[in-house]
Structures are given as C-alpha cells and as structure tokens.
Amino acid sequence: MSRILLLEDDPILGKALLAYLQSAGHAVTLVSHPLQAREAEADGQFDLLLLDVNLPDGSGFDFCGEMREKGSRLPIIMLTARSDEDSVVTGFESGANDYIRKPVSNRELLARVQTHLNEPMKRDEQIRFGPILVLIGQRKVLIDGREIDFNRREFDIFSQLIRNPGIVLSREQVIAALNSGDNILDRTIDSHFSHIRSKLKKLNISHVQIRSVYGVGYKLEVLT
C-alpha cells in the first residue's frame, strides 16, 4: 500500500481527493498547512507528496524547494489552478516531478500518481545482508520478509548501518549521513537508535542487533 501525503488547504477538495485516493487503495494523510506537512513528513514515511500551490503562510513552490534543499527525493506532484506558463516553469524549477492543472479528472490524477509511485520501484537500489533487505527507493526495510515500520530518520540511520555491516559508526558519522540542515544532538541520535531497537524487539527479531560501543558509536550485527 502506497502512502501519500496530501497538502491541500481547500477542505472540500481535500476530503474529496482523500476519499478517491483511499478508494484506489492508497493510504493518505491529509493536512492543510505547511507546518502540519513538515511535521507529518518528519514523523512519517511517505511514497509521494501531492501539493497545492496556494497555501496559508507560504506557497507550494517554497515548500517544494525547501524539501529539495534538505535532500528529499520524494516524488512531488503539484496540483493547482495556476495554469500560466510562468507558474508551471516555477513549479518544475522548485523541484516538482509533475505539475497538474485544475480541474483534472480523477482518472488522470490517479494515472499520474501511479506513474510516479512506480518510478522508484524501477530504479530501486537493494541492499542485502543476511536476512535483511533494504529497498532504498521505496524506503523499506524487510527482515525475514517482514517490513519494519521505521520513520524517515530511523530508515536513514538503519540504511547507513547496513552499508557498513560490522563497522562501528560514530554519532558524528551518522549525523553527517543524515544530510540534514537541522542541528541534531548526540542524545537525539541515541533516541533514534533506541526506537530502532524497540521496533526490532517488538517483532521478536533477536538475530539482528544494534550494538553500542562505549565512547565510540554503534554497529549492526547479524547473529548466526
């Protein structure tokens, strides 16, 4: 099931899009404000962003550009009534993958959404280590065939560990790998590692372990 973040400040249109996309089998999170979208995107793991351009306290152009500056590769589709050429060009220059002019039929919208959802699957990098499979493009981690529900930061951290199995990574190396403009503290990183361990334990996955090396950092181990 694909997960879509929908940022639309028109409540009627937002609910209509929500219902239609859900009926097509997608999990949709609807927000109406850029701040809500930032919080949802930070906490969740989405496969696509459907973005209005005219927003309270900002524009979809700015929001899209902000995400690209932070290194996000999330497919972004702008959905807007602004159909002039300058707006379309601005949308693509800000980093959008597609620009859809309103009004648009539900069938066309769904076809475009599905096209962009399929793209990462075509070029997905896969990393295998023992029972672990990481699908980079889809941002999924599977252990023994079971998907682990990591949020964005947890996925990025786990991906860095699996690229360096058995090697101790310092907190500084992990922070650098996150490629975030935020000021991340050591204790924040420790908290992310704690959550990763908790999710593995919840699924009774004891043969994949995140070990802490006192005064140095963390490493990934698979017990045989």
Give tens-digit pLDDT for 107-160: 999 999 998 888 765 556 788 899 999 988 788 999 999 999 998 889 989 999
Averaged pLDDT for residues 190-209: 93
pTM over 0.75: no
Q: What is the pLDDT of residue 163?
A: 87
Higher pLDDT, 107 or 187: 107
Joined together, the tokens standing for residue 72 give 């996000």
pLDDT at 195: 94
pLDDT in tens, 156-169: 899 999 988 889 99
Print burial letters for 25-38: b (CB count within 10 Å at least 16), e (below 16).
ebebbbbbebeebe
Output the pLDDT for position 123: 59
Q: Is the pLDDT of residue 102 over 90?
A: no
pLDDT of residue 39: 87
- Listed in order, strand segments (DSSP E) in the chain are 3-7, 27-31, 48-51, 54-55, 58-59, 76-80, 98-101, 126-129, 132-135, 140-143, 146-148, 169-170, 208-213, 217-222
pLDDT of residue 44: 67
Q: What percent of the chain has pLDDT over 70?
A: 92
Check pLDDT > 90 for residue 171. no
Whether 163 contacts 173, CB under 8 Å: no
Which structural domains are found in the chain, ordered by start? 3-122 (3.40.50.2300), 126-222 (1.10.10.10)
Q: Whole-angstrom Cα distance, residue 113 to residue 210?
A: 37
| Radius of gyration (C-alpha) of the chain in whole angstroms | 19
- pLDDT single digits (tens) 55-100: 888 899 999 999 888 878 889 999 998 889 899 999 999 999 999 9
Residue 181 pLDDT > 60: no
pLDDT of amino acid 186 = 66
Query: What are 10-39's pLDDT values in tens digits?
Result: 999 999 999 999 999 999 999 999 889 988
Give me the torsion for CA of 12, 16, 17, 19, rounded to 10°: 140
Given a cut of 80, whether residue 45 has pLDDT beyond it is: no
In this predicted structure, the answer to whether residue 43 has a pLDDT above a threshold of 90 is: no
